[in-house]
Structure 1
């Protein structure tokens, strides 16, 4: 067998996938962990939301810079120092908060956590895409890439649900500081292990020198076909942040805000299951249509959540919301995988990841301020607005695709088009 005849797992090894999955958990835990810790220590949902927003601002500032640095210098040189620094900062944050530090110092510490966030999820996807394109034969690439995108998106969604769920468990069973401290340990160990895994060298060494230098200009990443995906992911992040913070306020009014992480984890039951099942959907159910269909489910269930006035109703709606948000996120990242410009996969993926985290943090800040003013019902309405935004952006994406197809037909020379009498209707 030649190298191109072997499967992707032959090139990565089985151990790569659990390492890559655990390495993304600190990123998924930090916004919720910061919110939970600050609210538990200070009793202020508003300050907790602002601190989460500081994390998101740090992520969105550093994310594109990290992605561009990885595209230029490789993952190992960038991720090893980031993983170590981020782990140290996460471990120090509980000390800062519990010591009664001034609010500006708490916010600065949270921003530093966001600035050093490694975004292992985006790096995993980018690494696998590079190995597929460089090491697999042409006939195996499309199917393998499709499966990888489905798996990676489902893993992202699972991590973003398991992360808050773990925060709730660790905070309830151990202490409110425990989730952030554990996230720091995971970053130190598993982000570093991910960065040093041999698959990173394989992805880099597999490219010829000329290919290694070939990168699309940054302007290609800023085209509407990419920006609409960033905006859609931003909408999903708004949904996550508004749901978590309004749920925190709802649980706090019921007696214990720490339990919000456990309630939030219920959304992951249907979300993770359906996200993993997206790979089984027929190819004729196009990604652009999946975006619209699942966004409708998300909007309707979010409306039901806003109207819920009992714990039982909230639980049911959280389960239904998971059926919409998981496949929507899978679809967005799958489209991004197909549209990433040449040599800009890490930049594209970190843009989406940064948008998701920034929106989650900003929504937490706004929702927290509204909830702290006594408007818990209004706070529970905000996820509906976020879901409607995702639905509207799905329509915008559909319009962009139609415009691109029309432009492509117009560019096709008339002589190269099929003769009408020989075209078979399908």
Structure 2
């Protein structure tokens, strides 16, 4: 809700999709820069302390941002606070993944461990994609029913209540017996293959960000700007359905192959987006895109859990999550300028390019894994 809320609030208050894109980009970059550090601190100390501190800072940043934008403060100052807002956002999603992967990794046999991790990643991805549905939809509903500031206030309330409960839960200090007490050296965490996964996540975020920004322009031109979040839910709905189905796919369809196959499906969906002219056609294309990108998202997180060195799963998963955010943030800013200057179709072209690169990166990752196995 935070990035979409910033985007909607600034677009409404300043009447500029481009400026809204820059503000959302600053929030996303803040998350991307601070997220991996939060993961490292959680691996070294505990998730609880990191979550409590970030929750307090997040609520303060949201309150300050709302006051600055409503008071027409200098835009540069708004961007700075948006950066802090994004950086302070609690890293609930990767922290939750890390906790459940820890539990799954303590299974007694390799078969049970693999099955447990697969179930964890499917479950977590469904939760992630559900948040992609509920978040934008809530932004749209709260904006339409109350005011553009309501989504950010509601997000701050969630942080002050549910995130705090997550922070003090007993699982925040869980460590399985299979995990060593000394983390792996920093240099081993970011191997070449993990960096490729991070780049893949960056491109996934780029697809989300460029699609959302172009969709805002598409809906605004038709007088339906306040319903953008609801329309965007079609993409997330496709991603949720695919994430559930992935848990039932045969093991012969490897994670690397899933990356390539579903990125190709996502590419077909984004191409359809760029040529859509009506809202129903747009919704169908969003659904297809979500089916492809959602499956790639699950595959990348699963590959990340496999590649993570022992004791550094939170760091790796937080880095992957942050890569999504920075990709979303940068593409939001870039596609915002493109969409405002040349229309929604041009903005969707950014999503087409990002999905094409995502498919090619999947092929590169598969080739790298094959050469490593051969050597």
> Is residue 329 of structure 1 aligned with residue 297 of structure 2?
yes
**Residue in 1 aligned with 2:237?**
269
> Is residue 242 of structure 1 aligned with residue 242 of structure 2?
no
SS where residue 211 of structure 1 aligns? coil
**Residue in 2 aligned with 1:212?**
181
**Residue in 2 aligned with 1:77?**
49
**Residue in 2 aligned with 1:199?**
171
Distance in 2 of aligned mates of 1:228 and 1:52: 25
**Residue in 2 aligned with 1:7?**
none
> Is residue 111 of structure 1 aligned with residue 80 of structure 2?
no
Q: 1:296 aligns with which of 256, 261, 264?
A: 264
Structure 1 residue runs without a partner (length 5+)? 1-28, 408-426
SS where residue 97 of structure 1 aligns? helix
> Is residue 64 of structure 1 aligned with residue 36 of structure 2?
yes
CA RMSD in angstroms comes to: 1.5
Distance in 1 of aligned mates of 2:186 and 2:128: 25
C-alpha displacement at 1:156, in angstroms?
A: 1.6
SS where residue 301 of structure 2 aligns? helix
Q: 1:259 aligns with which of 227, 231, 242?
A: 227
C-alpha displacement at 1:374, in angstroms?
A: 3.7
| Residues 21-41 of structure 1 deviation map (CA, whole Å, 9 limit, x = unaligned) | xxxxxxxx1111100000011
2:217 and 2:343 in contact (8 A); partners too: no
**Residue in 1 aligned with 2:97?**
125
> Is residue 384 of structure 1 aligned with residue 352 of structure 2?
yes
> How has the CA–CA distance of structure 1 residues 222 and 211 changed in structure 2, closer, same or farther, with 3 Å as cutoff?
closer
Distance in 2 of aligned mates of 1:245 and 1:180: 18
Distance in 2 of aligned mates of 1:355 and 1:396: 18
2:48 and 2:167 in contact (8 A); partners too: yes
Distance in 1 of aligned mates of 2:104 and 2:4: 34
C-alpha displacement at 1:281, in angstroms?
A: 0.6
2:274 and 2:345 in contact (8 A); partners too: yes
Once the two structures are overlaid, the 10-residue window that deviates more, 29-38 or 306-315, is: 306-315
Distance in 2 of aligned mates of 1:165 and 1:362: 22
Distance in 2 of aligned mates of 1:216 and 1:365: 36
| Residues 266-312 of structure 1 deviation map (CA, whole Å, 9 limit, x = unaligned) | 21222211112210111111111100110010001110110112222
Distance in 1 of aligned mates of 2:227 and 2:150: 15
**Residue in 2 aligned with 1:306?**
274
**Residue in 1 aligned with 2:326?**
358
1:57 and 1:114 in contact (8 A); partners too: yes
1:64 and 1:347 in contact (8 A); partners too: yes
Q: 1:230 aligns with which of 167, 173, 198?
A: 198
Once the two structures are overlaid, the 10-residue window that deviates more, 321-330 or 124-133, is: 124-133
1:125 and 1:152 in contact (8 A); partners too: yes
2:234 and 2:284 in contact (8 A); partners too: no
| Residues 215-235 of structure 1 deviation map (CA, whole Å, 9 limit, x = unaligned) | 112222221110111011100
Distance in 1 of aligned mates of 2:350 and 2:332: 10
1:238 and 1:359 in contact (8 A); partners too: yes
Aligned residues: 374
Distance in 1 of aligned mates of 2:177 and 2:50: 19
**Residue in 1 aligned with 2:251?**
283
1:221 and 1:227 in contact (8 A); partners too: no
Distance in 2 of aligned mates of 1:170 and 1:188: 19
**Residue in 2 aligned with 1:168?**
140
Distance in 1 of aligned mates of 2:259 and 2:314: 23
1:40 and 1:258 in contact (8 A); partners too: no
C-alpha displacement at 1:207, in angstroms?
A: 4.7
TM-score by length of 2: 0.96
| Residues 65-112 of structure 1 deviation map (CA, whole Å, 9 limit, x = unaligned) | 111111100111211111122123223322221111110111011000
TM-score by length of 1: 0.85
2:129 and 2:237 in contact (8 A); partners too: no
Once the two structures are overlaid, the 10-residue window that deviates more, 98-107 or 369-378, is: 369-378
